[in-house]
Amino acid sequence: MPAGLVAATVLTTAAAVWLSVRVYEQRQAEQRRQDILAAARQSALNFTSLDYRHYDRDSQNVLKGATGEFKEQFAAQTTELTELVAQNKSVSEGQVLEAGIVRADDRSARVQVVADSKVTNVAVPRGEPRTYRLQLDLVLENGRWLTSDVEFVG
């Protein structure tokens, strides 16, 4: 086999391997991006969809997607919030409109979310629309993206 053919075969094989690795890395990055956005959207939806008639379940949904200080703070306020939403007969039906990643790496991410909700309670029985702009910090724990912080942003 001529040396030129051997060199061409080696170069072609090396290029194919390099391209395969790049495609794999891009697919992994895209999957991570989709996982982050899905977790942030679900967390924002859980956070903006609460109903006094089954607040225990709704608050547990928030806690299932939470971790760290955010989880501790939300859990610590659950009893007080349960009483408050029951007294006011509060219902909030959330809907995520947009979500975008501000920054992300293999273990953490920051996502901004725009969500609308219709809020009804004793003061506004016909409902009142609200728009939220949330910044969520997420961390990867045991293969799941969990919300570690939520901030209302302008």
Share of the chain above pLDDT 70, in %: 99
Q: Is the Cβ–Cβ distance between 149 and 44 less than 8 Å? A: no
Residue 1: per-residue pLDDT: 61
| Higher-scoring residue by pLDDT: 24, 149 | 149
Residue 20: per-residue pLDDT: 78
**What does pTM read for this prediction?**
0.85
pLDDT single digits (tens) 31-45? 999 999 999 999 999
pLDDT above 80 for 100: yes
For the segment 69-78, the average pLDDT, to the nearest whole number, is 94
For the segment 41-69, the average pLDDT, to the nearest whole number, is 96
Rounded distance between C-alpha atoms, residue 107 and residue 84, angstroms: 36
| Higher-scoring residue by pLDDT: 36, 6 | 36
Q: Is the Cβ–Cβ distance between 26 and 18 less than 8 Å? A: no
Residue 41: per-residue pLDDT: 98
Q: What 3-state DSSP class applies to 48?
A: helix
Rounded distance between C-alpha atoms, residue 51 and residue 55, angstroms: 5
Instruction: Show Cβ contacts of residue 50 under 8 Å, excluding neighbours closer than 6 positions.
Output: 58, 59, 85, 90, 91, 92
pLDDT above 70 for 114: yes
